[in-house]
Amino acid sequence: MDFNDLHTELRPKIHHYLSRLLGDQDIEDVVQEVFTKVSRGLDGFNGRSKLSTWVYRIATNTAIDHLRSPAHRHASERTSMDEGAGAKFNSSPGGQTETAIDQKVIRKEMSACVREYVDRLPADHRTVLVLSELEGFKNREIADILQISVENVKIRLHRARNGLKQELDDGCDFYRNEEGTLACDRKPVLIEPRQEEK
């Protein structure tokens, strides 16, 4: 396939995948980096897997490198602090209660809350969870993208789901609000009292 055709067909999918994996920070730069690598490697593509699988593999490896970079970790910590500060406010400037605010805001906060906990997962677990739960790939396809066995995919998925469930259970109280929408309240962080120095 010609690179321009490949770029036209797959760029929106890769952009969507990477935004789920990385959030919106520097996403355009990472997408550009992925397709630069695809362009350079296309002549050497050996056809052992589907072309789309190969592109997703490049995207995944590029994303994992980005996730492990100090710059990304610093930006993620800053974003989490900003979101945590914003989550403390339960009323609008006009004095309306949370239930009077547009339901999209509640859903956005819910998504931001869950997103924060997904971001805390190790890169390998986050990747396999996004590929399976959000991108809809089958275990065999994930194995091809990550170049691991199907059994390894199952193990990582199991650990990722358990890790996310534990993080959410520890950090959030889930409930249905008056409109029947699933919402969450962050549990307060308990700070241990400092010991008096003798």
Rounded CA-CA distance 131/157 in Å is 10
107-112: long-range pairs with CB below 8 Å, 24+: 107/181, 109/183, 109/184, 110/182, 110/183, 110/184, 112/83, 112/87
AA identity, residue 26: D
0.85 exceeded by the pTM? no
Rounded CA-CA distance 132/130 in Å is 5
Placement of tokens 């760029």 in the chain? 11
Tokens representing 155 are 């193990």
* pLDDT bracket for residue 87 (50, 70, 90): very low
* pLDDT bracket for residue 88 (50, 70, 90): very low
Q: Which of 2-16, 41-55, 88-102 shows the lowest per-residue confidence on average (mean pLDDT)?
A: 88-102
Mean pLDDT of the chain: 77
Rounded CA-CA distance 17/15 in Å is 5
Tokens representing 159 are 């650990």
**In the chain, where are the structural domains located?**
1-86, 100-187
Q: Which of 115, 108, 123 is nearest to 167 (CA)?
A: 115
Q: CATH second-level architecture of 1-86?
A: Orthogonal Bundle (1.10)
Rounded CA-CA distance 73/75 in Å is 6
What is 100-187's CATH topology? Arc Repressor Mutant, subunit A (1.10.10)
pLDDT at 95 over 90: no
In sequence order, the β-bridge partners of residue 182 are 176
Rounded CA-CA distance 43/68 in Å is 29
Question: Residue 149 has what pLDDT?
Answer: 96
Rounded CA-CA distance 191/180 in Å is 33
Range 28-32 average pLDDT:
94
